[in-house]
Amino acid sequence: MNTVVAGREPLAAPRPSTLARVYSGLIVALEIWCVLLMLALAVIVLLGVWYRYVVERALPWYDEFAEFLLVWLTFYGSVLTAHRGGHISFETLLDYLPRGVRRGLLVLADLIVLLIQAALVVYGWKLAQAASFDTAISIRAVRLSWIYSAIPISGALVFLIGLPRLVRRAIGRERS
């Protein structure tokens, strides 16, 4: 958007930083990934139902694979929800508190979320490593470490989303 100042050329809108463009690109890629996961989940479940009730021969792998997709969708979807600030909170209760107390509680909540995300990264990584040679029961080519990789990856992404928010709240630059 250009701004016109009387008697001057229009001013160009400030260009987003490289980091902001990378962040936006990551969010778009994650949105596309979640849509693909949902589509794959829908197709696999419909295929499973079709084979079970129409063909009358159940696919041995569809339910396990659908569970894996649901796990991925849950973890990667939580990153998008964190980006949009959509996780559950107590806004109504916070609205009745004085501004300083509210800001302090929001900073504390952000710290707790970051600690939990750090734990997800550390222990999710350990879980993925421990399962590196385990495979899915119905599809031997699928390693469980691939499935479990969603835990540390999503934990790291939510951590990276939450850290700047914590800093903005702590220094008073985000509305509390």
Read off the pLDDT of residues 54-91 as tens digits, 9 standing for 90 and up.
999 999 899 999 999 999 999 999 999 999 988 887 78
Using alpha carbons, select from 78, 99, 71, 95 the residue that is nearest to residue 157: 78
Compute the distance between CA of residue 11 and CA of residue 4 in angstroms, rounded to an integer. Answer: 6
Q: Please state the pTM of the whole predicted model.
A: 0.82
Query: What's residue 88's pLDDT?
Result: 81
Using alpha carbons, select from 160, 170, 148, 175 the residue that is nearest to residue 68: 148
CA distances from 56 to 41, 45, 48 (A): 21, 15, 10
Compute the distance between CA of residue 108 and CA of residue 150 in angstroms, rounded to an integer. Answer: 26
Question: Tokens 């979320």 map to which residue?
Answer: 113
Residue 10 has pLDDT above 70, yes or no: no
DSSP-assigned beta bridge partners for residue 3:
11
Q: Sorting pLDDT into bands at 50, 70 and 90, what band is 32?
A: very high
Query: What's residue 136's pLDDT?
Result: 86
Residue 145 has pLDDT above 60, yes or no: yes
Ramachandran class of 11: left when φ > 0, alpha when ψ lies in -120 to 50, beta otherwise: beta
Residue 155 · residue 118 · CB < 8 Å: yes
| Domain spans in the chain, listed from the N-terminal domain onward | 18-170
Two structure tokens written together for 89? 């909170």
Compute the distance between CA of residue 90 and CA of residue 127 in angstroms, rounded to an integer. Answer: 32
